[in-house]
Amino acid sequence: MAEESESKQSAVESMMEKISEKIHGHDSSSDSDSDHEKPGSASTVQSKIFRLFGRERPVHHVFGGGKPADVFLWRNKKISAGVLGVATAIWVLFELIEYHLLTLICHISILCLALLFLWSNAHTFIHKTPPRIPEVRLPEEPFIQVASALIIEFNRALKLLRDIASGRNLKEFLTVIAACWVLSIVGSWCHFLTLFYITFVLLHTVPVLYEKYEDKVDPFAEKATIEIKKQYAVFDAKVLSKIPKGPLKTKKV
């Protein structure tokens, strides 16, 4: 009888161990499944986050990811501060002091040529070696690349203006008209150099601030975008939809 009771107890203990193993195995599998699901859910949440201008890449990649992006985003503070300082000095020189470009070039040329000429002729009296003036040649490839890039962008702008003028997209037409009107008002307030300097300063301040506070700016931009779309839908329903449009010509097959 004692042996039978011991065998029954061992059988019960083995059954309890198997049940506990199954329970622990199910819990670990569920934990692993939840761990696998968490990164996926986080990635889906990140993909659904609204980004300004619909961008999917970091701000540094949007600016090209090269040295200009490093300058605009202050990756090297000395270079960025130097570029901004030179631009500020040029603006102060030409806008505030009202110095003319041709006059500045001539004065710099006179000063440099006079110093080099005097040094070249006076080296025998001051017992110093004459200055070594290097031969300067500008490479052709950078200028060709810049010219080709400008031509491509100029042709793209002409094509866009042609499409707008042909009446294919009323939204783009109103956008261009509003932009030109705003630029004409801003142009009446200040000179072109001041406008260029303001744009240059904004390029050196707004992107780096946006990169730093993008998590706070993007939700506000999302709300503003939704509100603008609502107002445009109302304007489209009340005004744009009532504008008569000419009949579309059937295309010949």
Which alpha helices (DSSP H) does the chain contain, by range? 2-47, 59-62, 67-72, 77-91, 101-126, 141-165, 170-189, 192-212, 214-238
Q: How far is CA 117 from the centre of its chain?
A: 48
The span from the CA of 160 to the CA of 171, in Å, is: 13
The span from the CA of 232 to the CA of 173, in Å, is: 14
Rounded to two decimals, the pTM is: 0.57
pLDDT number for residue 49: 65
Is the separation of the CB atoms in 52 and 225 below 8 Å? no
Phi, psi angles (nearest 5°) of residue 218: -60, -45
Helix 192-212 × helix 214-238 angle, to 10° = 120
pLDDT number for residue 233: 86
pLDDT number for residue 108: 92
Phi, psi angles (nearest 5°) of residue 31: -65, -40
Q: 10-residue block means of pLDDT along the chain (253 residues)?
A: 51 58 48 46 49 69 78 88 93 88 91 88 74 81 86 89 80 85 86 88 90 85 86 81 59 44
pLDDT number for residue 34: 46
pLDDT number for residue 50: 64
The span from the CA of 86 to the CA of 239, in Å, is: 49
